[in-house]
Structure 1
Amino acid sequence: MDRIISLFSSSALLLFILVVQNTSSVYGNAEGDALYALKKQLKDPNNVLQSWDPTLVNPCTWYHVTCNNYNSVTRVELGNAGLSGQLVSQLGQLSNLQYLEMYGNNITGIIPNAIGNLTNLVSLDLYLNRLHGRIPTALGNLQKLRYLRLNNNILTGTIPFSLTTITTLQVLDVSSNRLRGYVPRNGSFAFFTPRSFANNPNLEFPPDAPVAPAPAPLSS
């Protein structure tokens, strides 16, 4: 009887290990698949994404990708990489992503609503591209976000009020777009100056909103 129990326990332990390993592998592949979907939508004349090999167990060895101790992607750094093409909704599968940096490229299309699924995101830097369409209301789900820079694109529509609920937001820049309507002044937006919203000809401050005074001239 003891031998049977021992064999059963050993089999159960082996099965558990196999399940855990398989789950880890699938999780890693899911993130790799998401990033590979992005690669397929981008033109990469400088071969910046050459190391993004979808046959690997996970993308943690790829250049411009950083992972945590659990082999989950936490950072994607593709600023000033000469990329063009579009973002993909699969990016929303990177559940532990903290930094998405794709500034200074020639990326077109819209900002996918699925970016709002990245609830661990600390920094979203998509400035200096050619993104158009609205700023997704779903970005209000990013309650850990500190830096949101979407300036120098072709974004239209109004600024979502959902963004004002992000109490951690320290830096906001939506300047040099084609936004319209009133600038929200509640929540975290009460602390941002007109510089964050400049060069949007159809964007206005509410009549009762305080406007930051011009800086005093430097004394000679």
Structure 2
Amino acid sequence: MAALPCLPILLLALLLSLSPTLSTNSEGNALHALRSRLSDPTNVLQSWDPTLVNPCTWFHITCDSNSHVIRLDLGNSNISGSLGPELGDLKHLQYLELYRNNIGGKIPTELGNLENLISMDLYDNRFEGKIPKSFAKLKSLRFLRLNNNKLTGSIPRELTSLSDLKVFDVSNNNLCGTIPVDGPFGSFPNGQFQKQQT
């Protein structure tokens, strides 16, 4: 007896591949997860369409020639909410610009997975909790600005291993403990660590 063709299975596979529910791109999925955590009253994220194959056509996203997300620029965008671990999936990200918003909660430790990151600007938000020790894995990081938040605890000594770090500002938080002096920290002005006098 001749074998029957597996048409139902093939048809199912075809339908699944055409399903518009979520992008098959892990970076697009990560950004869509971020969008779901944010409140966006002025619709700056309206172009973030999860049905697209990749997010390179979305506003506030920059990709390289290989369609990898290298810049996320949502500074001063009137958004609020929190960040999730999904951001750690943006493996090619070089610039994370989320300054001057109302984003709160803890800074995800998964941001330490962004090994290509050059600049992280999270200043002027409502982040709380500790500075993640995982940031010590960001060996390409040159600019880290976390000032004007509600961060607590001490500056992780592990960050002294960031030899390329040129700017480090954690002023106007609720940090305590000693300021590291090793590595690049010996050259940072004290004002970048202090709480502003009122």
TM-score of the aligned structures, taking structure 2 as reference length: 0.87
1:11-50 → structure 2 map (5 Å cutoff): 29-50=25-46
What is the CA-CA distance between 1:28 and the residue it aligns to? Answer: 6.4
Q: Which residue of 2 aligns with 1:183?
A: 179
What is the CA-CA distance between 1:34 and the residue it aligns to? Answer: 0.0
Query: CA-atom RMSD, angstroms?
Result: 1.5
Point out the structure with the larger helix share: 1
Aligned in 2, Cα 1:27/1:189: closer, same or farther, shift over 3 Å? farther
Distance 1:180 1:186 in 2: 18
Q: Which residue of 1 aligns with 2:190?
A: 194
Distance 2:159 2:191 in 1: 17
Deviations 1:34-77 (A, max 9, x none): 00000000000000000000000000000000000110000000
What is the CA-CA distance between 1:88 and the residue it aligns to? Answer: 1.0
Q: 2:100 aligns with which of 101, 104, 110?
A: 104
Q: Structure 1 segments of 4 or more deviating over 3 A?
A: none
Unaligned runs of 5+ residues in structure 2 are: 1-21
Q: Is the 8 A contact 2:23 2:53 kept in 1?
A: no
State yes or no: 1:53 paired with 2:44.
no
Distance 1:195 1:165 in 2: 21
Q: Which residue of 1 aligns with 2:62?
A: 66
Q: Is the 8 A contact 2:140 2:164 kept in 1?
A: yes
Distance 1:28 1:97 in 2: 18
1:125-164 → structure 2 map (5 Å cutoff): 125-164=121-160
Q: Secondary structure at the match of 1:181?
A: coil
Unaligned runs of 5+ residues in structure 1 are: 1-25, 202-220
What is the CA-CA distance between 1:193 and the residue it aligns to? Answer: 1.2
Distance 1:183 1:52 in 2: 40
Distance 1:182 1:64 in 2: 37
Q: Is the 8 A contact 1:121 1:145 kept in 2?
A: yes
Aligned in 2, Cα 1:62/1:39: closer, same or farther, shift over 3 Å? same
Identity rate, percent: 54
Q: Is the 8 A contact 1:87 1:112 kept in 2?
A: yes
What is the CA-CA distance between 1:128 and the residue it aligns to? Answer: 0.1
Aligned length: 176
Q: Is the 8 A contact 1:28 1:72 kept in 2?
A: no
Distance 2:24 2:174 in 1: 39
State yes or no: 1:85 paired with 2:81.
yes
Q: Which residue of 1 aligns with 2:163?
A: 167
- 1 or 2 for the larger relative contact order (CA 8 Å, sep ≥6)? 2
Q: Is the 8 A contact 1:131 1:153 kept in 2?
A: yes
Q: Which residue of 2 aligns with 1:208?
A: none
Distance 2:24 2:55 in 1: 7
Amino acid of the structure 2 residue aligned with 1:105: N
Whose radius of gyration is greater, 1 or 2? 1
Distance 1:45 1:131 in 2: 20
State yes or no: 1:95 paired with 2:116.
no
State yes or no: 1:119 paired with 2:84.
no
